[in-house]
Amino acid sequence: MAAGFTQKMTCQSQKMQSDCPIGLRYAIGMLNLMNNLAPAPANTSPATTARERFNRAARCLPVDRPPLWLMRQAGRALPEYRKLKETYTFVQLVQNPELAAEVTLQPVRRFGFDAAILFSDILVIPEALGQTYHFKETGGVVMDFAVTSKAEIEKLSVERVVERLSYVDKALRILRQELGGQTALLGFTGSPWTLATFMMEGASVPKYSRALQLFREDKKTYYALAEKLTAAVTAYLQMQIATGIDALQIFDSHGGHLAAPEFQEASGRWTDQIIAQLGGQVPVINFSLGTHGNWPNLVASGANVLGIDWQTSIAEARKIIPSHIAMQGNLSPVHIAESTPAVVAAETKKILEAMRGRPGHIFNLGHGLTPAAKLENIAALVETVKAFK
C-alpha cells in the first residue's frame, strides 16, 4: 500500500479508535505495525559511495564521516609517479590525457581517497594565453618570458583558451569514466591574482612583488590583466564542468601576499566574478592561503566551501564561517613529512573532534603534500579519518 496512504491512516487512527468498526481498527493496527517495521527509504542514508559522501559534505548535508582528499595527492610523493617521471617531464604528463588520468588515479588506488583531483597545474592558463612554462629539474617554474608591460598584456589571447586546453577536457572525461559513480572528481584552477603574480615574475621567486607593484601604481593596467585572466579562468572552468566533474577548487595561493585592505580589490573581486558566472552548477571550493584578515570577503565570495590553511585554528574558523558554508582542512603538511604515524593520527583526531557536529567538513591538509611526504603518515591520516564516527 502507498506510503502516503499509510501515513494518512496512521495519523487518523487515534481519532477513529473509539468509533470505527473492529475490523477497520485491526487493519489500521496492522498498517501501523508494517510502517514501523519497514526499512527506511534508501535516500535517507547519508552516503553509500565516496562520491556521494563528498557531494553531501560540500553541500553541508549529513555524512557518516568527513570525506577525505589531499591537495597535491597526485604526484611527487608517490613512487609510482616518480617511476613515470623517469620517462616523462612534468609538462608531458600534464598534456597527455591518458598519462594525466593515470597520475590522477594513482593515489586513489593506493589510499582510497573520497575524491580524485585532476593532475595538472595552474600555469596551464598562462600557457593557453600565450605564455609557456616549464619546470627546472632543481625545482621551481620558469616562464618563457615575463609579462611586464601593457603591450604584453594586450598580446595575451583569451579566444583560444578552451581549444588549447582540450587535453584537460580529454583527461577529465577519461577520469569520469574510470571513476564512475564511486569516487568524486575535482577540477581546479589558480585565481587571477595568483596567476598574475607568476606571469609578471616569469618564474618562481622568493618574493612576488611585480604584480603588487603594478596593482598599487597602475590599477588600470593591472585590471586589464585581471579581466583577461578572469575571462580565461571562467571559460576553462565551464569546460571542466561540462565533463561531469563534481566540484572545483580555486587556488588563491598568493592571496596572503596582499595586505587585508588590498585583498578584495586585487584578488577577491575577480574570484567572486568567476564563482558568480559559474552559477552554482557544481560546488566551488575557495582556498586562499594566508588570507586571515579577510574572512568576511571569503564568506561573501559565493563559494560553497572555504579551504582553511594550516596557519589557522579550524576551531576558531568554525566560529566565523556560517554553517551553510562547508569547511575544508586543515592538517599541517609538515606533519606528513616530518612526524610519525602516531603523531599524525593524534593531530588528525584533534581536527576531527574540533569539527564534530558541524555539517560540511571535508578533511584535507592546510596546503599541499610536499615531495618529502611519508607514505606511512598518509596511511595513518587516511585510517584515522575513515575510522572516525
The strand pair at 247-252 and 284-288 is best described as parallel
Number of separate helices (H) and strands (E) present in the chain: 20, 9
**Residue written as cell 591538509?**
365
Q: Are 248 and 241 in contact (CB under 8 A)?
A: yes
Q: What is the helix (H) or strand (E) element at residue 362, kind and residue range?
A: strand 361-365
pLDDT at 311: 96
Residue 224 zone, left/alpha/beta (φ > 0; ψ -120 to 50; rest): alpha
Q: Is residue 90 predicted with pLDDT exceeding 80?
A: yes
Q: Is residue 36 predicted with pLDDT exceeding 60?
A: no
Residues 336-377 pLDDT 10s:
999 999 999 999 999 999 999 999 999 999 999 999 999 999
* Partner residues linked to 251 by β-bridges: 190, 287
pLDDT at 142: 85
**Residue written as cell 592561503?**
289
For the chain, what is the mean pLDDT?
A: 89
pLDDT at 2: 39
Grid coordinates of 229? 585572466
pLDDT band at 10 (very low <50, low <70, confident <90, very high): very low
Q: Is residue 330 predicted with pLDDT exceeding 90?
A: yes
pLDDT band at 3 (very low <50, low <70, confident <90, very high): very low
Q: Worst-scoring range by mean pLDDT, 16-20, 47-51, 236-240?
A: 16-20
Residues 91-138 pLDDT 10s:
999 999 999 999 999 999 999 999 999 999 999 999 999 998 888 766
**Residue written as cell 603538511?**
333
pLDDT band at 46 (very low <50, low <70, confident <90, very high): low
Q: Are 127 and 94 in contact (CB under 8 A)?
A: no
pLDDT at 104: 98
Grid coordinates of 384? 584515522
pLDDT at 11: 38
Q: What is the DSSP letter of 68?
A: B
Q: What's the rounded mean pLDDT across residues 231-254?
A: 98
Q: Are 53 and 46 in contact (CB under 8 A)?
A: yes
Cβ-based neighbour number of residue 281 at 10 Å:
12
Domain positions in the chain: 1-38, 49-387
pLDDT at 316: 97
The structure's pTM equals 0.87
Q: Are 208 and 197 in contact (CB under 8 A)?
A: yes
Q: What is the CATH number of domain 49-387?
A: 3.20.20.210
Cα–Cα distance, 130 to 137 (Å, whole number): 23
Cα–Cα distance, 54 to 361 (Å, whole number): 9
